[in-house]
Amino acid sequence: MKGIVFTTFLELVEEKWGLDMVDSIIDESELESGGAYTAVGTYDHQEAVALVTALSTKTGIEVSGLLIAFGEHLFGVLIAGHPEFAVGVEHPLDFLEGVERYIHVEVKKLYPDAELPKFECDRKTDDHLVMYYSSGRHLEDLCEGLIKGSLTYFKREATIEREALDDGREKFSIQL
């Protein structure tokens, strides 16, 4: 997993709970990297799981809630780094359909070692999109947060329904 995910996560933890919490979850997680991340490096995604689990234990907040909140924040950081991906896009569901078709394709060119999920999109109506997420990393909660972050970015409200399918995919139904 790319270092930007780790650095953004630890910055958010510092902002919300302070540097002592950052030190304490790094200690707790017994990380191979030692917790020294650079934005351009690549690290084992299990380290992220360990850090979030440690934060959950310390704060008493469920892992899923932490990942959703982190995803919302992460979207703001990603789009700030690549504002060009939203240029000319007016509709949040057009933007979300573009994640698989365009954004992650470009991300892969920029960072060939990025590990990206797969999305299949089914645009039901102008205001209703169904996205099927699949990834060996099973970051469904992070994905929900990223979807929410993009809706906030476009200043639109939506109902998001989720369903875990038997084949391992997660179905996200997004209705504006």
Question: How many amino acids of this chain bind ligand HEM (CB under 6 A)?
Answer: 25
Q: CA-to-CA distance for 81 and 159, rounded, in angstroms?
A: 27
Which of 116, 121, 130, 176 is close enough to bind ligand HEM by CB under 6 A?
116
CB of 64 to ligand HEM, least distance (A): 14
Taking CB under 6 A as the rule, does residue 103 contact ligand HEM? yes
Taking CB under 6 A as the rule, does residue 115 contact ligand HEM? yes
Q: CA-to-CA distance for 21 and 19, rounded, in angstroms?
A: 5
Q: CA-to-CA distance for 79 and 75, rounded, in angstroms?
A: 6
26 vs 45, which CB is nearer to ligand HEM? Answer: 45
58 vs 91, which CB is nearer to ligand HEM? Answer: 91
16-24, 28-36, 62-70, 140-148 -> range binding ligand HEM (CB under 6 A):
140-148
Give 91-149 as a DSSP string: -HHHHHHHIIIIIHHHHHHH-TT----EEEEEEEETTEEEEEEE-TT--HHHHHHHHHH
Taking CB under 6 A as the rule, does residue 77 contact ligand HEM? no
Copy the structure tokens of residue 32.
Answer: 């191979």
